[in-house]
């Protein structure tokens, strides 16, 4: 790495105003600073500013006046200052999942055509390509990236396997989402010299269960601003932010982490923020008048504000810290549920659910005499909306569904499902554990009453998560645990409870890891959730086509809307055998039932192998996975 200026040096007074360095001649600036400036200048890319970003490995967006981050609840007096206090682009308006009836509220990032990208943004990179690398193709006017076996409206595994062309391609919907494209159908560009049309053209109906690939024009374009919508992520640079991804396993093999649905890895910014908390701020919160208590309280409440912003919740009073999504669902079941669900009532879940969104409701049914109902899924793994709607009725008290299936990757139409439930006056809980790391989340657009997620699924620490609760619902929800900070006054005759959220946070919480969750949110927002969604979708399409070329491999879960999960089985091979073969090459995947036995049994299975992707994964990672699968079949 070249020796460039630090951010603090670049932002302080001019060189001539700096103190004279020891040994320097009076009246002259520190020559080492001049040398570092020159060195930084000559290492700049074309059109790059001399002023460096706070972290060259992370795209950072300067906040625009319209989307500046919300201020912290209080100003922290802690000596630690986050390296990147700014956020990426705001959450985008959700779009309609094309496999169901149109609705304006579904949170499933979709992509426009290249023509809708604003000037200067350019096309996204190929999945896994370095944003600053040269393209190893003859560019000409338009580079043909799609192998012959992949062209057309369907995917031919046999042709793909025999193709010698490069296999880097993107589905059209992998391109970057933009607000204007989400608001209306894309308008084709007018011919040169013709007036631009203001009438949107009708969006063509997309064929079901097909793979449509795109030829990208890779001619050099102006570089977009870092962190802006449309900025191409550089996963190789991002990998360097995650110390564990430099780990070597099993005799020196490079670690390839493809078990992100189980837990995501932690960037150095999160690790250091937790360490700094324990070094400089550690104290209990809300209870003392000394300096460290003020620092810890400020840091904890600032993390609550970041979580509110991340979910687009209306108020910090709607955010409750818990140990994770599992505890969040249990909290709702044992607080709101015990107060509102009675004998003969019904609780509705879907066939896709993780055990954590089944067992607490079964326990509530056992306690109250209520019944558990299940919304079915089709053969692709998507919820059958018509069947779901028929299950809603006057006996239904709460709907609890996942936004993204951890076993199949299915993205469910949560906004439409919420709206249908609310027509019957039914409370709705959304399990967002698998969604928060892959797409922008807007609880107000979804319209749900509760939303739960785990910090460790979004590059934060384990043992921390959050529940969003609608204010009017939380106001009528009793506490589920007692003691500590949740009380306003206690006598032996009665207890007066605090208002939400303190009412639901009994005892000493996981303060340091809440602060770490705030740092993780800072990190993903600096990249931009829309950019993450677009990059991962392209990588998912790449991995899907590569894996379909493996003999006797069957993907489980082929819904039109999917996030970064690729569950599969191979005929004649045990899932444990496949997992061990991958592990021997340093490739970490999950093999088993994924705590989602009902949905696997819906497909006649007890286990699958589940690679799951994140924004630090690359085409090279996918290729390594597929190479092992081919070797298991006796082919190199």
The three-state secondary structure class of 368 is helix
CB 420 within 8 A of CB 392: yes
The mean pLDDT of 494-512, rounded to a whole number, is 95
Specify the higher pLDDT residue, 254 or 13.
Answer: 254
* CA–CA dist 309, 304 (Å, integer): 9
Tokens in use for 131? 């944003």
* Per-residue model confidence (pLDDT) at position 46: 40
The three-state secondary structure class of 532 is: helix
Q: What is the pLDDT of residues 102-113, one digit of tens each?
A: 323 333 333 333
Is the pLDDT reported for residue 522 higher than 80? yes
| Count of all residues that appear for the chain in the document | 636
Bigger pLDDT: 512 vs 39: 512
Q: Is the pLDDT of residue 63 over 80?
A: no
The DSSP symbol for 200 reads P
pLDDT tens digits for range 19-38: 444 444 444 444 444 444 43
As a whole number of angstroms, the distance between CA 629 and CA 581 comes to: 8
Q: At what angle do helices 359-368 and 325-332 cross, to 10 degrees?
A: 20
Given pLDDT bands bounded at 50, 70 and 90, which one contains residue 231? low
**In percent, how much of the chain has pLDDT > 70?**
63
Q: For residue 154, is pLDDT > 80?
A: no
Catalytically active residues, by annotation? 595
Q: In terms of pLDDT, which residue wins out, 157 or 377?
A: 377
> pLDDT digits over 570-611, tens only?
999 999 999 999 999 999 999 999 999 999 999 999 999 999
3-state secondary structure of 109: coil
Q: How far apart are CA 341 and CA 367, in angstroms?
A: 10
User: CA-to-CA distance for 387 and 28, rounded, in angstroms?
Assistant: 79
In this prediction, residue 605 carries a pLDDT of: 97
- Three-class secondary structure of residue 566 per DSSP: coil
Mean pLDDT in residue range 182-189? 35
DSSP, collapsed to helix, strand or coil, labels residue 466 as: strand
Asked if pLDDT for residue 251 goes beyond 50, the answer is yes
Calpha distance 531→368 (Å, rounded): 45
C-alpha 88: how far from chain center: 13
**Sign of the torsion formed by the C-alpha atoms of 422, 427, 433 and 437:** positive
Cβ(443)–Cβ(451) below 8 Å: yes
Predicted pLDDT at 181 = 31
Distance CA 160, CA 548 (A): 9
Cβ(83)–Cβ(267) below 8 Å? no
**What confidence tier does 484 reach under pLDDT thresholds 50, 70, 90?**
confident
Is the model more confident about 48 or about 407?
407
- CA atoms within 13 Å, Cβ hemisphere of 33: 20
CB 542 within 8 A of CB 619: yes
Instruction: Please check whether residue 54 is in contact with residue 84, taking contact to mean a CB–CB distance below 8 angstroms.
Output: yes
Q: Residue 207 pLDDT > 70, yes or no?
A: no
Helices (H), ranges, 456-528: 471-474, 511-527
């Amino acid at each position: 790495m070249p020796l460039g200026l630090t951010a603090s040096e670049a932002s302080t007074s001019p060189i001539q105003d700096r103190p004279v360095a020891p040994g320097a001649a009076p009246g002259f600036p520190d020559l080492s600073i001049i040398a570092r400036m020159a060195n930084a200048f000559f290492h700049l890319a074309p059109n790059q500013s001399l002023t460096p970003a706070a972290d060259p490995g992370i795209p950072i967006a300067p906040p625009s006046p319209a989307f500046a981050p919300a201020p912290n609840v209080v100003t922290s007096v802690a000596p630690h200052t986050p390296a990147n206090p700014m956020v990426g682009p705001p959450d985008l308006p959700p779009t309609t999942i094309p496999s169901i009836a149109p609705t304006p509220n579904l949170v499933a990032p979709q992509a426009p055509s290249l023509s809708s990208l604003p000037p200067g943004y350019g096309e996204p990179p190929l999945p896994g390509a370095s944003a600053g690398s040269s393209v190893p193709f003859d560019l000409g006017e338009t580079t043909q990236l799609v192998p012959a076996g992949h062209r057309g409206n369907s995917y031919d595994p046999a042709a793909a396997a025999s193709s010698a062309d490069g296999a880097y391609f993107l589905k059209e919907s992998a391109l970057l989402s933009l607000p204007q494209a989400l608001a209306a159908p894309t308008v084709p560009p007018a011919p040169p010299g013709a007036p631009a049309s203001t009438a949107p053209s009708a969006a063509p109906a997309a064929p079901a269960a097909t793979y449509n690939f795109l030829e990208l024009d890779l001619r050099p374009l102006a570089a977009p601003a870092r962190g802006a919508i449309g900025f191409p992520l550089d996963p190789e640079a991002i990998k360097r932010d995650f110390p564990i991804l430099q780990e070597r396993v099993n005799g020196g093999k490079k670690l390839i982490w493809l078990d992100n649905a189980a837990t995501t890895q932690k960037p150095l910014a999160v690790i250091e923020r937790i360490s700094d908390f324990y070094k400089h701020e550690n104290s209990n919160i809300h209870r003392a008048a000394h300096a460290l208590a003020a620092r810890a309280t400020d840091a904890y409440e600032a993390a609550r504000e970041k979580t509110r912003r991340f979910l687009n919740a209306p108020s910090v009073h709607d955010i409750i810290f818990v140990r994770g999504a599992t505890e969040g669902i249990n909290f709702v079941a044992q607080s709101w549920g015990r107060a509102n669900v009675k004998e003969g009532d019904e609780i509705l879940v879907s066939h896709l659910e993780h055990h954590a969104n089944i067992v607490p409701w079964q326990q509530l049914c056992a306690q109250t005499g209520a019944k558990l109902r299940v919304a079915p899924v089709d053969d692709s793994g998507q919820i059958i909306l018509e069947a779901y709607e028929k299950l809603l009725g006057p006996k239904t008290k709460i709907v609890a569904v996942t936004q993204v299936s951890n076993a199949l990757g299915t993205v469910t139409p949560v906004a439409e499902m919420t709206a249908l439930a609310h027509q019957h006056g039914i409370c709705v809980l959304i399990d967002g554990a698998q969604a928060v790391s892959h797409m922008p989340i807007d609880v107000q657009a979804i319209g749900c009453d509760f939303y739960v997620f785990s910090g460790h699924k979004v590059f934060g620490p384990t043992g921390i998560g959050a529940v969003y609760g609608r204010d009017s619902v939380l106001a009528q929800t009793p506490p589920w645990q007692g003691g500590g900070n949740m009380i306003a006054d206690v006598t032996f005759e009665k207890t007066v409870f605090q208002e939400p959220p303190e009412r639901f946070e009994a005892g000493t919480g996981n303060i340091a890891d809440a602060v770490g969750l705030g740092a993780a949110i800072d990190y993903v927002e600096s990249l931009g959730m829309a950019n993450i969604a677009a990059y991962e979708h392209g990588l998912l399409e790449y991995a899907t086509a590569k894996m379909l070329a493996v003999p006797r491999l069957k993907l489980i879960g082929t819904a039109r809307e999917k996030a970064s999960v690729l569950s599969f089985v191979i005929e004649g091979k045990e899932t444990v055998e496949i997992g061990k073969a991958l592990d021997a090459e340093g490739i970490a995947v999950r093999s088993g039932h994924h705590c989602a036995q009902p949905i696997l049994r819906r497909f006649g299975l007890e286990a699958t192998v589940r690679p799951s992707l994140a924004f630090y994964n690359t085409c090279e990672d996918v290729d390594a996975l597929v190479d092992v699968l081919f070797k298991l079949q006796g082919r190199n």
